[in-house]
Structure 1
Amino acid sequence: MKKLSSLSDLKSLISTKELSNNKPLIPEIKKEPKQSLEAHYSKKGRAGKPVTVIKGFKGSKEKIKELAKLVKNKCGVGGSFKDNEIIVQGEHRDKITSILLELGHSVKRIGG
């Protein structure tokens, strides 16, 4: 096995096909109509633990679940999807708002 002397030598271990596959930071979600969403801050019914609830989605459940997965991955937290709402653990309204604005949705900050 060849001994690697620098980080640039690591390129020889990766195929050029893998290097040329540049993925965007936010994956393309099929163009949905622009939606007016609300980012709520809540502690109710969760033993005092803060959550961010995104409400106002219209569309198929699969699309909303896909968007929920994207938001949770970008924030690096857990959460769930229930009753056409995305529930994200912790107070991440600012970060979620910026993600949704990049996707073309309008977001209103409510509560807290």
Structure 2
Amino acid sequence: MSGKKISLADWQQQLGRPAEAATAASDDLVYSTDSGRIDKPKPQKVVAQSFSDGHARLRRETKGRNGKAVITISGLAESTETLAEIAALLKKKCGCGGSVKDGVIEIQGDQRELVQQELTKLGYKHKWAGG
């Protein structure tokens, strides 16, 4: 055996295995001497689902939050980045904190009127859900 280094695909080709086997074997690779650590591409995050009537749902929640009110906005069928931008805009307008979790925007505090006005300005139709 010679001291020459060859790639995994070339080695498998010399053994007589088809190229598909080389790609299947390379799917399990974690490290390569040529390129270093091999990271698998991360799956795309699921875009939030919208409701069939096309309206976003605004809900005031206090359950599990020690009595503190939070406005949640669900049903905006946008990408995660767009939801983060909308949340940032709403947080600035309301002067409070918030986050985006699983396609739902959470705005801290009872800011019903401001959230409703800003969503209308952005062109989203909305309905109040819950009590």
Aligned residues: 78
Distance 1:57 1:38 in 2: 8
Residue of structure 2 equivalent to 1:61: 80
Could you tell me how far apart the structure 1 residues matched to 2:78 and 2:118 are?
A: 18
Distance 1:65 1:108 in 2: 21
Q: Identify the residue that residue 106 of structure 1 maps to in structure 2.
A: 125
Kindly report structure 1 stretches of 4+ aligned residues shifted beyond 6 Å.
none
Residue of structure 2 equivalent to 1:96:
115
Q: Is the 8 A contact 1:65 1:81 kept in 2?
A: yes
How far does residue 90 in structure 1 lie from its aligned partner after superposition? 0.7
Using the TM superposition, give the Cα deviation of residue 54 of structure 1 relative to its aligned residue in structure 2, in angstroms. 0.6
Distance in 2 separating the partners of 1:42 and 1:70: 21
> What TM-score do you get using the length of structure 1 for normalisation?
0.66
Residue in 1 that maps onto 2:62: 43
Structure 1 position 111, deviation (Å): 2.5
Counterpart-to-counterpart distance in 2, 1:44 and 1:105: 26
- 1:109 is displaced (CA, Å) by 1.3
Gaps of 5+ in 1: 1-34
In the superposition, the TM-score normalised over structure 2's length comes to 0.57
Cα distance, 1:45 vs. partner?
1.0
Match of 1:81 in 2: 100
Greater Rg by CA: 2
Instruction: List alignment gaps of at least 5 residues for structure 2.
Output: 1-53
**Structure with larger RCO (C-alpha < 8 A, sep 6+):** 1
